[in-house]
Amino acid sequence: RKEVEQDPGPFNVPEGATVAFNCTYSNSASQSFFWYRQDCRKEPKLLMSVYSSGNEDGRFTAQLNRASQYISLLIRDSKLSDSATYLCVVNVRTGGFKTIFGAGTRLFVKA
């Protein structure tokens, strides 16, 4: 079982739609959580951190459920420019630390 699992998609949605991505992690020592965005043939870039209380950044809302070891990302009013792969990222506290990237969920937003 992968330590961080995401639905690979692709998700095909029309402009203006609301879309939700889910991510599960298996290590209970996971300490911090992020969503990164990766455009085709580009490097990953931080979209937002994920806090236990939930956090929002414009059209994007991230939620964390530590009990269920589950992270979500909600995108409202989708834009064409939101088309990308969304990576779920977990930092695990071990003797040192370990950063684990999910394989990503692809999103296509169409006009």
Under rule CB under 8 A, residue 32 binds other proteins: yes
Question: Which residues lie closer than 8 Å to 76 by C-beta, 6 or more apart?
Answer: 18, 59, 60, 61
19 to 26, 77, 95: CA distances (angstroms): 24, 9, 37
Under rule CB under 8 A, residue 52 binds other proteins: no
Contacts of other proteins in 58-87 (CB under 8 A): 87
Of the pair 3, 13, the CB lying nearest other proteins is at 3
Under rule CB under 8 A, residue 42 binds other proteins: yes
Q: Looking up tokens 């999910």, which residue turns up? A: 102
Under rule CB under 8 A, residue 17 binds other proteins: no
Q: How far is the CB of 35 from other proteins (least distance, A)?
A: 12
Under rule CB under 8 A, residue 31 binds other proteins: yes
Span interacting with other proteins, options 12-20, 44-52, 56-64, 66-74, rule CB under 8 A: 44-52
Residues 59/16/70/48 CA torsion (nearest 10 deg): -30
